[in-house]
Amino acid sequence: MLRSSPPAVLPALPASDPGLRQRRRERRRLAEQDRRAAQRAERFLLRALLADARGLVRAGWVQHCWFVIEDEDGTPRRIGAPNLHELGAHPVTGVCLVGAIVQAAGGISRAGTQPVHRAIDLTWATLYDEPLRRWASAPVRLSYIHDLTRWNDAAQRCVDDVVGLLTAAADDAVG
Give pLDDT tens digits for 81-135: 888 888 888 889 999 999 999 999 999 999 999 999 999 999 999 999 998 777 8
pTM over 0.75: yes
Q: Are 173 and 47 in contact (CB under 8 A)?
A: yes
CA angle 38, 168, 84 (to 5 degrees): 80
pLDDT tens digit string along 51-84?
999 999 999 999 999 999 998 888 899 998 888 8
User: What mean pLDDT is predicted for residues 137-157?
Assistant: 96
Number of domains in the chain: 1
Q: Containing domain of residue 24, as a range? A: 20-57+101-174
All residues at 6 or more sequence positions from 97 whose CB lies less than 8 Å from its CB, including other chains = 53, 57, 123, 148, 149, 151, 152, 162, 165, 166
Q: Find residue 94's DSSP bridge partners.
A: 68
Kindly list the distances between the CA atom of residue 27 and the CA atoms of 15, 31, 86, in Å, as whole numbers in the listed order: 16, 6, 51
Please report whether residue 167 resides in a domain. Answer: yes
Please report whether residue 170 resides in a domain. Answer: yes
